[in-house]
């Protein structure tokens, strides 16, 4: 999936924000079928690894950004759960504000709607010396790691991005803020990638914080999640012990 060369020209030629910009991204799965089969066997469900993509729109007014999925009709006749749809649902939508340097993540979890807030500084980026050419422009590579507190075990989750440094548009998909530039591509633990596909200027639309849901900090949300997962692990271990 390649970025149109014209979008880089737009990025470098426009220096002032007069109208909303729309950055169109495409998300796709890069997980191999072996990992999918492991998930199916682990949870007893049927997950498909179709070559679907999810389109996202980042509406940016120069100060604030709103990153949302573009809904589309599902004409699939299969009852399988799409691997990429699982990722889409668990990630939710994002809002960011350069003035307050804050991020909001709107998502559903435990049958409740949440607005999860965090500062840009919560992501501890490590900027590497690696450079990759994307659509004729040199992009710097950065990455960060975090603990993924899963139902059965805790793993390290790595997010890697490539960004145009000192771009006129400091924006990012999925709330990946904190870098001085525009994120062109992001890799999520070698399972999914999102890539900037197109840019449109002079677009209408309102960019504003989320209003639906209970507000909670990311630290509080993670702490609550950990309590629930610890309880699940404990009850699961007790069932295993009883079956022996």
**Tokens in use for 147?**
């603990």
- For 55, 90, 99, 156, the CA distances from 59, given in Å and listed in that order, are 13, 21, 16, 31
Non-local CB neighbours of 61 within 8 Å, separated by 6+ positions: 17, 20, 21, 207
User: Residue 51's pLDDT is what?
Assistant: 56
From residue 139, give the alpha-carbon distance in Å to each of 24, 165, 185: 18, 7, 9
The whole-number pLDDT of residue 17 equals 42
For position 236, what pLDDT does the model report?
Answer: 80
Distance CA(201)–CA(49), nearest Å, equals: 34
Per-residue pLDDT of the chain (244 residues; tens, 9 = 90+): 455 555 554 454 443 444 789 999 999 988 754 454 444 444 443 344 455 789 999 999 999 999 999 976 555 555 556 778 888 888 999 999 999 999 999 999 878 899 999 999 999 999 999 999 987 778 999 999 998 887 788 889 999 999 999 888 899 999 999 999 999 999 999 999 999 999 998 778 889 999 999 999 999 999 999 998 988 888 887 787 776 6
Residue 55: the pLDDT is 93
Question: Could you tell me which residues come within 8 angstroms of residue 179 by beta carbon, excluding any fewer than 6 positions away?
Answer: 125, 127, 142, 161, 163, 165, 170, 172
- Interatomic CA distance for residues 14 and 199, integer angstroms: 12
**CA-based end-to-end distance of the chain:** 51
Domains of the chain: which residue ranges? 5-243
pTM (2 decimals)?
0.81
């Amino acid at each position: 999936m390649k970025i149109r060369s014209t979008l880089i020209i737009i990025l470098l030629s426009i220096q002032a924000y007069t109208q909303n910009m729309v950055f169109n991204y495409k998300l796709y799965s890069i997980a191999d079928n072996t990992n999918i089969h492991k998930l199916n066997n682990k949870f007893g469900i049927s997950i498909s690894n179709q070559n679907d993509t999810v389109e996202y729109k980042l509406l940016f007014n120069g100060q604030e950004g709103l990153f949302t999925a573009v809904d589309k009709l599902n004409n699939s006749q299969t009852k399988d759960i799409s691997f990429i749809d699982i990722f889409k649902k668990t990630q939710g939508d994002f809002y960011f504000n350069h003035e307050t340097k804050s991020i909001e993540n709107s998502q559903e979890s435990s049958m409740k709607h949440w607005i999860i807030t965090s500062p840009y500084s919560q992501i501890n980026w490590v900027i590497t010396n690696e450079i990759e050419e994307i659509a004729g422009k040199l992009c710097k590579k950065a990455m960060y790691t975090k603990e993924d507190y899963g139902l059965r075990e805790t793993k390290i989750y790595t997010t890697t991005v490539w960004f145009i440094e000192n771009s006129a548009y400091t924006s990012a998909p999925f709330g990946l803020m904190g870098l001085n530039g525009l994120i062109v591509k992001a890799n999520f633990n070698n399972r999914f990638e999102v890539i900037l596909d197109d840019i449109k200027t002079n677009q209408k639309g309102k960019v504003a914080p989320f209003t639906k849901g209970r507000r909670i900090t990311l630290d509080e949300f993670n702490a609550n999640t950990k309590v629930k997962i610890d309880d699940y692990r404990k009850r699961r271990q007790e069932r295993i012990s009883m079956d022996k």
